[in-house]
Each structure stands twice: as C-alpha cells, then as structure tokens.
Amino acid sequence: MTEKQPEDVRPDGEITLSVDGTLATIHISRPNKLNSFTIPMVEQLESHLATIDDSEDIRVVLVTTAGERAFSAGADIKAFSQLSATRMWSQWIRRGHALFDKLAGLRQPSIAAIDGNAFGGGLELALACDIRVMANDAKVGLSELGIGTLPGWGGTARLQKTVGVARAKRMIFTSKMIDAATALDWGLVTDVADRSEVVAKATEIAHQVASRAPIALQMTKQIIDGQSGEGVRLTLEALGSAASSATDDFMEGVTAFRNKRTPEFTGSFDDPASR
C-alpha cells in the first residue's frame, strides 16, 4: 500500500519534482486548499516541466498530489477572482493553457494518479496526461459553468477528444461529476483502483512504460498525438528532422558547412554497420 505524503500547511502550496532513475514524480502539495493552483505553483510547474523536457534520463512522468480530500480543484478561485479581466487573461488563462500544453507535449509519457476528486482545472491537469489511474470512490468533472466561467486550461478540447462531443457537452453544460465506473466506461481513465492503491498502480504502469525503448517510445507518443490532431505540424517537422539527421547528406552538409566548402549530397542513409 502506498500512502499519500503528509499535508503541507504552506498557504501558497508547493509543487516538487523528484527523480528516481528513469521515473520523475511531480508532486502537488496544497491539500488544505484541495491542491488548487496559485501563481507561485504555476511557476514551479513551469520550471519542473522544463527540467523534464531537457532530461535525457527521464523516461516517464508521474503526477501525484497530497492529502486525502482531493486530487486537485484546479485554479484557486479566490486568487483569480481578485484579478482584473486583463490579468485574468494574461496570468491565468494564457499561462495556464500554455502550461498544460507543455505537460501534454512532453516527449516522455505522463501518468496522473487521481486518488481523490478532480474538478475544474484539476481534471484539466489529469487530461493533459497520457494515462489516468483513478480511485474507485473518486469523482471528476468540469464545474466552471457553475461559477459563471468556463474551462480555460484546455478542458473543452481534451475532454471531447477523450469522451466524445456529446458526453463532454453533458459534463460541461451541467457541471456534472461522474464516478470512476462511468469514467472508465467512457474512456476518461484507463485504470481504476482502491484509493490507497492508486499511486502504486500508476507507479507500476510507469515502470512498465519506462522499460520500453525510450526514443521509439517518445516518437510513438508524438505520432499518436499527431494522428489525433494534436500538434500535427510539429509532429511532422520533428519526425522529418529526426529522419534527416540519420542521413549521410546531413553529415555531409554539416561537415561542408564547417569546412566552408560546397556539399556533395548522395541521398543515402547512415549505415550503422559502417560506424
């Protein structure tokens, strides 16, 4: 059994990053406020995602949270309700949207351990992960219309891609929370476990993922995302650039550039046997 980490009493909360071999764990700790996000926490997560993206050792990312009351309630309502409309747009919407896009776009697969209720931005956080494991007694939903706003961190797009347009509209229009059985049936989560076993189950899956060939794994993730319509242009450019870097022409072009001469291209690929 894996127990959740003890509660953090810091009012602004904290998001930490720990790395154990090839597994990176992002831990969100503001349980006294349902692990809701403050601006300092957004800044911390931005920094951690940059570290993960730059790492050649990390193969999979696990997202966990502290406390027993909720996985995450998303953005701190009290914090963002005090902002002007302009700062709401620049500080919360644009920045949070870009942050969750960054999480979704990591080279490494990510897994959310939803061992408590996830609503609003908390569900959007989970939806930005590739795999979701949920507690069998938890509920999830996008509740923003209930407070006069709407999902602003990618929830409308990612939810309808995950569960379909009609079900996404039903959840969002009614602010309806769905239980784990429904979430599993709709494909919103991939696995359901007892609350005390969610992190352990997510970690087990993480180790399975980490055992795969890392470059092929990361390319596969990018291809799947591209085929689903997410980042098609970037996917094509990235894979095309990767393929061209394996050609003799690329090596010839770089060598010619360094030596200030005209390259002589042959149109052949690098032969591993000749190395």
* Among 144, 237, 252, 264, the one annotated catalytic: 144
Give the position of tokens 């609350």: 195
> CA torsion angle for 258, 263, 264, 270 (degrees, to 10)?
50
CB count in 10 Å sphere of residue 252: 15
* Among 43, 124, 197, 252, the one annotated catalytic: 124
- Beta-sheet strand order (sheet of 178-179): 70-72, 117-119, 139-141, 178-179
Q: Are residues 109 and 209 in contact, defined by beta-carbon separation less than 8 angstroms?
A: yes
Q: Kind of pairing, strands 139-141 and 178-179?
A: antiparallel
Q: Are residues 212 and 155 in contact, defined by beta-carbon separation less than 8 angstroms?
A: no
Q: Would you call 124 a catalytic residue per the annotation? A: yes
Q: Would you call 7 a catalytic residue per the annotation? A: no
140 contacts: CB under 8 Å, gap ≥ 6: 114, 117, 118, 119, 122, 123, 126, 134, 177, 178, 183, 188, 189
Q: Which residues are catalytic?
A: 124, 144
